[in-house]
Amino acid sequence: MSEYKSTGIIRKEDLEIPSDERLEEGPVVIMECVENIPCDPCVAACSFDAVEMEEITDTPDVEYETCTGCGFCVTECPGLAIFVVDCSYSDENCKITIPYEYIPVPDEGDEVKALDREGNEVQKAVVTNVRQSGKTYAVTIEVDKENVWKVRGFEVEK
């Protein structure tokens, strides 16, 4: 049994992730969707046809070479399970786009507490972009490259 089934905490090892080469090419989606639930908005959200699913209870199958990393799917996932990472522009940093439905909403340039999947602080991070779609925001923060697989949330300090 996968560890997350007892802990509720997904690990990098539980995910299908892009190759190191694809990660270096530019922003790319990371779908942390591991349960066979009846759900598929991520398929319709992608106008590049990068996401496929044969049955509605399948987990999404992402074609990473087709994904542009646009991030439009991030705000369409009811499970807040979709992220975009971009490690292509720097040797030291990566950007992570995170779905967010709390208040207060951060502003671009704010410093926030970057959190791991258990809610523990990993580091301070700067908000580089905020986009809203309906009640969901897609907030991009910049983290140290070594933390790109740890950070999956943030806390606003206002």
- Interface contacts to ligand SF4, rule CB under 6 A: 29, 31, 33, 39-42, 45-46, 48, 50-51, 60, 67-73, 77, 79, 81-82, 84
With contact defined as beta carbons under 8 Å apart, do 144 and 126 qualify?
no
Query: In terms of CB distance, is 15 or 45 closer to ligand SF4?
Result: 45
Compute the least distance from the CB of residue 108 to ligand SF4, in Å: 20
Closest CA to 148 of 80, 81, 91, 103: 91
- Phi and psi at residue 83, to the nearest 5°: -130, 160
The residues near 157 (Cβ < 8 Å, ≥ 6 apart) are: 111, 112, 113
Query: In terms of CB distance, is 46 or 122 closer to ligand SF4?
Result: 46
Query: In terms of CB distance, is 75 or 110 closer to ligand SF4?
Result: 75
CB atoms within 10 A of CB 17: 18
Query: In terms of CB distance, is 68 or 136 closer to ligand SF4?
Result: 68
Compute the least distance from the CB of residue 56 to ligand SF4, in Å: 8
Query: In terms of CB distance, is 81 or 143 closer to ligand SF4?
Result: 81
Compute the least distance from the CB of residue 139 to ligand SF4, in Å: 15
- Phi and psi at residue 53, to the nearest 5°: -160, 120
Distance of alpha carbon 148 from alpha carbon 93, whole angstroms: 8
Q: Which two tokens stand for residue 11?
A: 């690990």
Compute the least distance from the CB of residue 153 to ligand SF4, in Å: 16
Compute the least distance from the CB of residue 21 to ligand SF4, in Å: 17
Cis peptide before 41 (omega within 30 of 0): no
